[in-house]
């Protein structure tokens, strides 16, 4: 599914699970609905009852994959679910749908995973040499095979042994016949939270916004390196991995998470407004109107407007009914790809000095088209302000990003990028300003896409050329 107007980074996926609730599958379905922004290519739910695993998975949006008939067949008081935007493993392959479900010598097992393993290819080759047969191209299956090969006595111990052999980012939800196990990687790169629903139900979710939809109560974040086992014996917490430096993905606050979510105690909407206000402080400009690039630029544009005193207007209107694919007409229409999704209102722009606020510039092609569209709508000046630092490096921890060579900021100065997108000025928030707005310490976050400082080392990789080859192998 290709959308030429969508130049944003994409999170790999979202995970959700419910334990000890009669409507486990239905609640998981609603939870995935709330997490749809984290993955739009496929969805899946697995439930278990009387040792029988019931599975529904398919390509497309949650509403397309699950109908009432499918939900009725998902019996049991335990369920886990997944929405996917592919990184490792192609989305077009129906075998790459999650949660993965396998039969082992100790019974059935289902796993859903958000993140990416930097040594996934290496571990897969090792397993294949030992005789393992893979049914998908996802690194999630590496974890499944390592778990199945373990000789530890309990499911949780086998999973720990498996995860000790992998490196990378993971927020993982696993389920056997009796329990749900939740694990967050030792660096805590991807988000994961726990909640309570009903009298005794337990919920796990990538974000708190999904808890709100099913009227669950937020309990707490899963800590980096923590394993939570939810079983008939109760809820037990372990920290079985060697402690690592906390490195939560700072881009969750800038773009990935939904504005109504709270991540590690920080409200995403308030964070984005604060980033916009800091951006206005760092890069002021004389202008008549502040315009967000919808939808991700809206909170930051509000913060910029309030801090600068320049009026805020919704001058660019988004068509929310555009799918991820569309047929481009044979007749040549300038900037068709952008115009079908975004349209400038000439009444707002005519004769105005405009500040466009967006969350990032990736390749720069969409930003260039938007600037030209705004000028065509009558803007006298167009100033672009970006609520993240320049993106100069790809992500290897579960975010779909281009290779380093494709990132405009990796090979162009800000002045050169400004000329390319045809703006009158272009300014980014500084890395220091970003953390100041979040009232956070940089040492606790991963900002490798801005700084190139990767918290998890890559096996047998040195230098930009090798990183590019690694990147291309991840997103082939």
* CATH code, domain carrying 87: 3.60.20.10
In terms of domains, do 334 and 204 share one?
A: no
pLDDT digits (tens, 9 = 90+) for 198-207: 999 999 999 9
Provide the whole-model pTM: 0.89
Beta strands in 387-472 (DSSP E): 399-400, 425-428, 445-446
Q: Is residue 138 part of a domain?
A: yes
CATH number (domain holding residue 409)? 3.40.50.2020
pLDDT digits (tens, 9 = 90+) for 138-163: 889 999 999 999 999 999 999 999 99
Q: Any known ligand binding at 427?
A: no
User: Do you find a cis peptide bond into 123, omega within 30 degrees of 0?
Assistant: no
Q: 267 forms bridges with which residues in the sheet?
A: 262
Q: Taking a C-beta distance cutoff of 8 angstroms, is the pair 180, 17 a contact?
A: yes
pLDDT at 466: 42
In terms of domains, do 271 and 225 share one?
A: no
In terms of domains, do 362 and 300 share one?
A: yes
pLDDT digits (tens, 9 = 90+) for 234-278: 999 999 999 999 999 999 999 999 999 999 999 999 999 999 999
Report phi then psi at 468, rounded to 5: -65, -45
**Which residues are designated catalytic?**
13
pLDDT at 106: 84
DSSP string, 400-464: E---GGG-HHHHS-HHHHHHHTT-SEEEE--HHHHHHHHT--GGGEE-HHHH---SSPPTT--HH
In terms of domains, do 182 and 304 share one?
A: no
Q: Is residue 199 part of a domain?
A: yes
Q: Is the pLDDT of residue 468 over 50?
A: no
Q: Is residue 452 part of a domain?
A: no
pLDDT at 460: 56
pLDDT at 229: 98
Of 37 and 338, more confident: 37
Q: Is residue 261 part of a domain?
A: no
Q: Over pLDDT 90: what percentage of the chain?
A: 79
Q: Taking a C-beta distance cutoff of 8 angstroms, is the pair 378, 349 a contact?
A: yes
Q: Is residue 146 part of a domain?
A: yes
pLDDT at 426: 98
Task: Indicate the SS3 state at residue 371.
Answer: helix
pLDDT at 336: 63
Q: Is the pLDDT of residue 83 over 60?
A: yes
Q: Is residue 293 part of a domain?
A: yes
Q: Give me the numbers of helices (H) and strands (E) for the chain, helices first please.
A: 18, 25
pLDDT digits (tens, 9 = 90+) for 24-62: 999 999 999 999 999 999 999 999 999 999 999 999 999
> Residue 288 belongs to what domain range?
267-440
């Amino acid at each position: 599914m290709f959308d030429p107007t969508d130049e944003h980074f994409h999170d790999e996926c979202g995970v959700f699970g419910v334990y000890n609730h009669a409507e486990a599958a239905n609640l998981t379905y609603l939870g995935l609905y709330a997490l749809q922004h984290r993955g739009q290519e496929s969805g899946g739910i697995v439930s278990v009852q009387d040792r029988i695993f019931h599975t529904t998975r398919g390509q497309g949006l949650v509403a397309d994959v699950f109908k009432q008939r499918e939900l009725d067949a998902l019996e049991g008081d335990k369920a886990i679910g997944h929405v996917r935007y592919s990184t490792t493993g192609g989305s077009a392959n129906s075998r790459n749908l999650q949660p993965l479900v396998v039969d082992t010598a100790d019974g059935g097992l289902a796993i859903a995973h958000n993140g990416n393993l930097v040594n996934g290819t290496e571990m897969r080759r090792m397993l294949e040499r030992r005789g393992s047969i893979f049914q998908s191209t996802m690194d999630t299956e590496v974890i499944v095979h390592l778990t199945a090969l373990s000789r530890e006595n309990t499911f949780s111990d086998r999973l720990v042994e498996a995860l000790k052999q992998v490196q990378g980012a993971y927020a993982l939800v696993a389920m056997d016949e009796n329990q749900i196990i939740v694990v967050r990687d030792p660096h805590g790169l991807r988000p994961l939270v726990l909640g309570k629903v009903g009298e005794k139900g337990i919920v796990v979710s990538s974000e708190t916004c999904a808890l709100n939809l099913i009227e669950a109560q937020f309990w707490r974040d899963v800590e980096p390196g923590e394993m939570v086992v939810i079983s008939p014996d109760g809820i037990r917490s372990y920290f079985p991995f060697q402690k690592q430096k906390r490195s939560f993905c700072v881009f969750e606050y800038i773009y990935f998470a939904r504005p109504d979510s709270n991540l590690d105690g920080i409200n995403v909407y308030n964070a984005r407004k604060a980033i916009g206000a800091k951006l206005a402080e760092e890069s002021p400009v004389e202008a008549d109107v502040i315009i967000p690039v919808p939808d991700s630029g809206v909170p930051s544009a509000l913060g910029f407007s309030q801090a600068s005193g320049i009026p805020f207007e919704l001058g660019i209107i988004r068509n929310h009914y555009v799918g991820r694919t569309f047929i481009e007409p044979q007749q040549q229409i300038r900037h068709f790809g952008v115009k079908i999704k975004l349209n400038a209102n000439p009444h707002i722009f005519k004769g105005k000095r405009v500040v466009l606020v967006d969350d990032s510039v990736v390749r720069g092609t969409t930003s260039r088209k938007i600037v030209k569209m705004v000028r065509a709508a009558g803007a006298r000046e167009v100033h672009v302000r970006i609520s993240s630092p320049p993106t100069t490096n790809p992500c290897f921890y579960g975010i779909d990003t281009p290779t380093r060579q494709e990132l405009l900021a990796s090979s162009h100065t800000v002045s050169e990028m400004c000329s390319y997108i045809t703006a009158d000025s272009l300014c980014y928030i500084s890395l220091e300003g970003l953390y100041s707005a979040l009232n956070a310490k940089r040492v606790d976050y991963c900002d490798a896409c801005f700084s190139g400082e990767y918290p998890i080392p890559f096996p047998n990789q040195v230098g930009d050329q090798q990183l590019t080859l690694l990147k291309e192998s991840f997103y082939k």
